Amino acid sequence: MTSAPVPLSVLDLAPVGADSSPAEALRDSVRLAREVEALGYHRYWFAEHHNVASVASCSPAVLIAAVAGVTTTLRVGSGGVMLPNHPPLVVAEQFGTLEALHPGRIDLGIGRAPAADPATGAALRRPEVEDFPAQLGELLRNFGDRRGGDGERVVSAVPARDSRPQPWLLGVSRRSAALAGMLGLPFAYAHHINPQHARPSLEVYRSAFRSTGLLPAPRTVISVGAVCAETDEAARRLAAPASLLYVRLRNGDRDRPLPSPQEAADYPYTADDLALVAQQSAARFVGSPETVRAGLDQLIATSGADELMVTTQVAGHEDRLRSYGLLAEAFALDRAAVTV
């Protein structure tokens, strides 16, 4: 097969399966990062999710530190830090520290997604009134030397004074795309959440882009859900648990792990459930290497994205690694070509 038209990367939620635990899921994620580095993947980002039993990735900065310490070529980052959940100063300190320890390898992906539910929002101490652009501006100003003159007291994220990670703005809308463009930031679009607005959002971003010194030209990543196996049928079986999980989450059930393929096959779906499954399946790329490669090539061509990031919601470590391995083969990834 021909080589990948764009770099391939990984978005990891650290999925927790029915036969696993959060601790095992986190350790598997660190293992997976080392393994996909050897396969030729470019970036490895961790999501931030809270109070969802099927997802162990709730603290990207901690996981980034773990993975950056056992890899050498991967760029490692957040996909992303949900800024309303955190004081901007603390985020700057954390990621300035990470960049200082692993220079040139840290990405700070920043998002604005709401809390999963009111109770989770309260536990996170999210502000009642959020001004995301103001929070984002405050965060970005923390990178660089903010020491004041004589007698002037300026709060400074000390590790961030001379250690700036690469900031990315995450989004699923034209509004986020326009903000990223106006600020001159690279933009990561979550196709796996909202596939319908991918192309128009990236077009808005490119039109709105103004270079501010952080980035000379627009740069985009598009993240997709994908499951790859030797055959289309085998891939559909591996992908079925994520469909059942989606049904349960939409019905307010957040307290179960990712089900097994057998549980998903035996589940008594209602007509409404099947409609949700169809909706979720339309946003994913599932099948043999040839099937998935064809679908992703088309997405890259129509969106014009500069990079592709893949999230694979499969609980078993070996199945997840195999999916990424088959995708690497389908795109003829070359480890020697990966640069930081």
The pLDDT tens digits of the residues spanning 148-190 come to 555 555 788 898 889 999 999 999 999 999 999 999 999 999 9
In a domain, 149, yes or no: yes
**Interior angle at CA 175, CA 169 and CA 180, nearest 5:** 30
The answer to the question of residue 21 being in a domain is yes
The segments of the chain whose pLDDT lies below 70 read 1, 3-4, 115-116, 128-129, 145-153, 335-340
String of b and e for 125-161 (b: at least 16 CB within 10 Å)? Answer: ebeeeeebeebbebbbebbeeeeeeeeeeeebbebbb
Q: How many independent structural domains does the chain possess?
A: 1
Residues 258-301: pLDDT tens digits? 999 999 999 999 999 999 999 888 889 999 999 999 999 999 99
Domain coverage including residue 303: 8-337
Instruction: Determine whether 272 is exposed, middle or buried from the number of CB atoms within 10 Å of its CB (0-12, 13-18, 19+).
Output: exposed
Domain-located, residue 1: no
Whether 274 is covered by a domain: the verdict is: yes
Q: The domain spanning residue 202 has which CATH number?
A: 3.20.20.30
User: Counting every residue, how long is the chain?
Assistant: 340
Cα distance between residue 149 and residue 166, in whole Å = 28
The reply to whether 2 falls in a domain is: no
Q: Cα separation of 333 and 40, whole Å?
A: 5
Please report where in the chains the tokens 């589940």 appear, as a residue: 267
